[in-house]
Amino acid sequence: MAKKWNSRIADWITKTIELPPDVMMDLPRITMVGQIHIYIENHRGLLKFSDQEIRLLLKQGQLLIKGKSFVIRTILPEEIMLEGKIEQVHYLEQ
């Protein structure tokens, strides 16, 4: 019941204050430029990295990105920019 109440409050605040839903709901924001760049905001940490795979922890679940020649261009506590050939982006529920 508390979860529904919090969801209703978040919906109301989002509409009233006109904040983006990803900010209020603590969702990741993923921006891709073709197959060469992916920028992820609002993640909870880097779980795995190789030149073919990256796995990020999210508030709910994980984000798995597969491809080739991955290089981390920027990494901050809640943001990461990855460069390479992106072939797959998967959301994994836990």
Q: What is the pLDDT of residues 44-66, one digit of tens each?
A: 999 999 999 999 999 889 999 99
> Which residue(s) pair with 92 in the sheet?
62
93, 59 in Cβ contact below 8 A?
A: no
Higher pLDDT, 11 or 83: 83
Domain-wise residue ranges, the chain: 26-92
| Coarse DSSP helix, strand, coil percentages of the chain, rounded to the nearest 5 percent | 20, 50, 25
Q: What is the pLDDT of residues 2-44, one digit of tens each?
A: 556 666 777 766 667 665 665 556 789 999 999 999 999 999 9
State residue 94's pLDDT score. Answer: 74
State residue 48's pLDDT score. Answer: 97
The secondary element (H helix, E strand) that includes residue 51 is none
The three state secondary structure string of 23-49 is HHCCCCEEEEECCCEEEEECCCEEEEE
Query: 45: number of CA atoms within 13 Å, CB side?
Result: 3
State residue 14's pLDDT score. Answer: 65
| CATH (one of 1.10.3720.10, 2.60.40.2000, 3.30.930.10, 2.40.50.100) for 26-92 | 2.60.40.2000
